[in-house]
Structure 1
């Protein structure tokens, strides 16, 4: 049930075609979760700055039931590589916030996971 959210000041016109599906597949593989549970949201053209500059930047969030914690360093490297490659945002220009969700706080199909 991963949710991958990217807020960026990158213009919508510079988001590559197919990015959402590429990101969905990437997150499913990275976390070992079924892609049918993955949600990806990108919010381009945000008014934002990072480190006192409005150069291309982002705020990245990965929420998941499990698959986070001790492996976050591996995830951070893989996500940074992915964002640099596809969105051309340098890894020094975004933070990644990892959130390990409680199963009783997430529902799908009218029923919580825990």
Structure 2
């Protein structure tokens, strides 16, 4: 069950309509996991600094079982940064991704 947490200093009205759904779909495509498995949160209006400025930026954490390793992460990064930067009209250098590998035993939920 992947979890996406998106923190941004953009205000909610500056994010595209249905951004949380779009981000879930993007994660589903890139990680090749069913969208029904995703839990996605978007937290706008954060106090945030990146590269020494408070210009618009995003910090995105992605937690997933069996998805992350040194071979696959660069491909994920390229696809995610390109799509996200285009969608929210930010330079890719203003978006940071943080991958968290999760063990299955660390997630509690009822089966789908």
TM-score, normalised to structure 1's length?
Answer: 0.90
1:21 aligned partner:
21
1:55-85, CA deviations, whole angstroms, 9 ceiling, x for partnerless residues? Answer: 1111111110012112000110111012111
Counterpart CA distance in 1 for 2:39 and 2:83 is 16
Separation in 2, partners of 1:99, 1:81: 20
- The runs of 5 or more residues in structure 1 that have no matched partner are none
| Residue of structure 2 equivalent to 1:100 | 101
Moved over 4 A (4+): none
Number of corresponding residues: 110
SS at match of 2:6: strand
* TM-score scaled by length of structure 2: 0.91
Does 1:87 find its partner at 2:88?
Answer: yes
Q: Alpha-carbon deviations, 1:26-67, whole Å to 9, x = none?
A: 111111111110111111110111111011111111110012
Unaligned runs of 5+ in 2: none
